[in-house]
Amino acid sequence: HWSLTQFTPASMEVLPQNTTERTFAVITLLFAMVTFSSFLSMLTTSMNQLRNISGNESRQFWLLRRYLRDWRIPKRVSSRIQRYLEYAYLQQKQRLQEKEVELLSLLSEPLREELRHETLKLHLAGHPLWLNCGSDTKFFSRALTSVALARGDIVFGCGEQATRMCFISNGMLEYARGQLSICDGLVMPAQEKHAEDAETEYVLIGQWVTEAVLWTHWVHIGDLQASTECQVIHVSASLFGELIRHNKPLWLRMRRYAQTFLIALNEMDLEDMTDLTQKHISPSKVVEDACFAECKEAHEAEDGDSDSVLAMVANMFARMCGSG
C-alpha cells in the first residue's frame, strides 16, 4: 500500500522513522515521479498522434468532397470515387504498403523479385500450373503486377486484344460473354457483341481470367467488369514469355503445357469459347496430360547426372595431377 502511494498523489499514515528509511522513501518517490511522468507523457503523445491522424483523414476527405463539388462532378461519378477511396484508404491502413518502408528501396533487384514472388505467390497457387511450378515462379515474378479496381471499372471489353492474364486476389468481378462470328477463317466478335439472353458469370477470389493469352494470340470474347472494389494480379503475356525463355528447363515444361492446352482449346466448340477457359478445359488435366511433374523430375535428374559427370571428371583430373 505504501509503495503504491509513492506513484500517485496519495498519502498514508506510515512515515519514515530514521535516516535510512527517509533516504529509501526519497529514492522511491523520485523513481515513482519519473516513471509516472514518463507513462503520462507517452499516453499524451499517443493520443495526440491518433488525433492528428484522424484529423488529417477527415481533412483529406473533406477536401475531396469540396473538389468534386467545386468542379461539378456528376453525382454518379462522385459517389464511385468516394466509395473507392474509402475502400482503398481502409485497405492501406489494414496492411503496411511497400512504399511506406523506405529501406526496401535499398534491395538488390534479385531480392526485390524474390520479395514480389513471396508476396504474390499465394494468390496464384489456386492454378495447378503455378502450384506445380513451385519456387520456379520467381523466374517470371517481374511479369506480375497487383492492381486495384473500383466498383464498375471495366477490365476489358469484347473484341479487345488480350495482353494479360488476371488472377482475383480480393473482391468479385462479372463476366458477360459476347457473340462470335467467323470472318476469313478467324473467330471474331460479332457486330452485335452481346446476346439478349447472355448470362453473367461471377469471377471470385482465387479464380483467373484469360489464361489463353499466355499461350496464343487472343481476342477477348466478353466483357469483364468489377462488381465490387477488387484487387487483381496481372500476368503480362509478353513479359512472361520473355522471362521463361531464360530458363530452358522451365521453358520446355511450359511449352509442353501450352501445346496440350492449345490442343484442348482447338477441340472446343465455337459456342463454348470464353475467356474463362477453365470452365471447359481443366488445368489439372492439362498438367497431367502434359506430364508436367515428370518433365520437372527428368530435368532435375539430368542436372544431377551432369553434376555427377562433372564431379567424376574433376576427381579424375585431381588424381592425375596427384600421381604426376
Model confidence, pTM: 0.72
Give the cell for residue 212.
489463353
Query: Which pLDDT score, from 0 to 100, does residue 74 have?
Result: 93
d(CA 115, CA 100): 15
Burial class (CB in 10 A: 0-12, 13-18, 19+), 137: buried
Higher pLDDT residue, 158 or 166?
A: 166
The lowest-confidence range among 69-78, 182-191, 248-257 is 182-191
Query: Average pLDDT for residues 93-109, to the nearest whole number?
Result: 82
State how beta strands 230-236 and 144-149 pair: antiparallel
Query: Which pLDDT score, from 0 to 100, does residue 291 have?
Result: 80
Q: What angle do CA 73, 77, 78 make, to 5 degrees?
A: 60
Residues linked to residue 180 through DSSP beta bridges, in sequence order: 189
What are 17-63's pLDDT values in tens digits? 888 888 887 887 788 778 878 888 888 888 877 777 677 888 888 89
Contact indicator for 132, 194 with CB cutoff of 8 Å: no
How many CA atoms, within 13 angstroms, populate the side-chain half-sphere of residue 324?
6
Give the count of beta carbons closer than 10 Å to the beta carbon of residue 238.
12
Query: Average pLDDT for residues 4-12, to the nearest whole number?
Result: 63
d(CA 178, CA 194): 4
**Residues in contact with 206: Cβ distance below 8 Å, sequence separation at least 6, in sequence order:** 123, 126, 167, 168
pLDDT of 262 over the 90 cut: yes
pLDDT of 264 over the 80 cut: yes
Amino acid at 278: Q
